[in-house]
């Protein structure tokens, strides 16, 4: 038996907030701000967006490790934040997140039609998120009300390690019955999500404008002047550079053209690990 590389893609593994729902990825960021505020520690929206894509406990730990935030915590409590303190913030974050997730549950304009087109081309739709299952269940239910259901969903606490580890992406490969990781595309709006896909051996597509990196509503994105948008794209492309995405596009609606290009590359014998 000899190895034969895949000739075309079999599955797309999609992130949720900032990719398929919640243009600008506002649901998690605002709740981080509110959760820290309940401990009398100020965290800005921009600071909260920094580690986006990680599991939420790890996200809070990363925020607490930032010197300026650790100093604010020290002023409030007389000590640097410990893991127990992180857990306390996380335990306040969770009910706030569950309570307010519906506020930012709208599908990204055009996403439903785009995903439908991918399915017509024979692609399976996997998904994963930095949300834990208790939040993900609500996100999935709200998306279903709007017409979207992935073929498989993996929450961050359903695998031993969250992003940037590859476990969630690989759990989709197993559940969807994909025979080669090179036949998969990981689509995400965060650096940890792209690293997840890279480490899983998949093709990777970074979303520049619909998610955390730009951090605007759909209306705000549309209102940007051409030169402003060009500058933002340049900034965000630089932000993603170290994670080495194979493609960078504005929103999921540009994904079908990327899928077609990857299929051509696979047909030529190219593999994501070497690209």
Query: What is the fold, at CATH topology level, of the domain defined by 11-26+104-274?
Result: Rossmann fold (3.40.50)
- Write the pLDDT tens digit of every residue in 122-155: 999 999 998 899 999 999 999 999 999 999 999 9
Highest mean pLDDT among 3-7, 33-37, 246-250: 246-250
Cα Rg, the chain, nearest whole Å: 19
- Residue of 54, 66, 17, 273 lying closest to 161 (CA atoms): 54
Q: Which residues are catalytic?
A: 15, 56
Q: Is the pLDDT of residue 52 over 80?
A: no
- What would the mean pLDDT of 29-51 be, rounded to a whole number? 86
pLDDT range class, residue 48, cuts 50, 70, 90 = confident
- CATH for 27-103, among 3.30.413.10, 3.40.30.10, 1.10.150.240, 1.10.150.530? 1.10.150.240
Token pair in block for residue 159: 């695998």
Domain ranges in the chain with CATH number 1.10.150.240: 27-103
Q: Is the pLDDT of residue 53 over 80?
A: no
pLDDT range class, residue 9, cuts 50, 70, 90 = very high
d(C-alpha 40, C-alpha 48), whole Å: 15
- Write the pLDDT tens digit of every residue in 200-236: 999 999 999 999 899 999 999 999 999 999 999 999 9
């Amino acid at each position: 038996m000899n190895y034969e590389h895949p000739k075309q893609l079999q599955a797309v593994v999609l992130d949720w907030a900032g990719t398929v729902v919640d243009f600008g990825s506002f649901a998690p960021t605002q709740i981080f701000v509110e959760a820290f505020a309940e401990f009398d520690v100020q965290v800005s929206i921009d600071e909260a967006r920094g580690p986006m894509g990680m599991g939420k406990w790890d996200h809070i730990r990363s925020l607490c490790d930032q010197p300026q935030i650790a100093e604010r915590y020290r002023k409030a409590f007389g000590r640097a934040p410990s893991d127990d303190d992180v857990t306390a913030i996380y335990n306040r974050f969770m009910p706030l997140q569950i309570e307010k997730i519906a506020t930012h549950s709208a599908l990204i304009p055009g996403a439903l039609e785009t995903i439908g087109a991918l399915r017509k081309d024979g692609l399976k739709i996997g998904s994963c998120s930095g949300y834990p299952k208790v939040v993900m269940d609500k996100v999935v239910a709200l998306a279903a009300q709007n017409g979207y259901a992935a073929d498989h969903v993996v929450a961050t606490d359903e695998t031993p390690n969250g992003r940037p580890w590859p476990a969630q992406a690989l759990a989709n490969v197993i559940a969807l019955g994909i025979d080669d990781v090179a036949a998969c595309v990981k689509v995400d709006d965060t650096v940890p999500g792209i690293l997840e896909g890279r480490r899983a051996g998949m093709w990777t597509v970074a979303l520049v404008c619909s998610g955390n990196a730009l951090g605007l509503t759909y209306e705000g994105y549309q209102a940007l002047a051409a030169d402003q948008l060009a500058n933002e794209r340049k900034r965000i492309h630089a932000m993603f550079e170290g994670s080495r995405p194979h493609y960078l596009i504005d929103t999921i609606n540009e994904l079908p053209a990327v899928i077609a290009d990857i299929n051509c590359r696979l047909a030529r014998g190219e593999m994501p690990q070497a690209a």
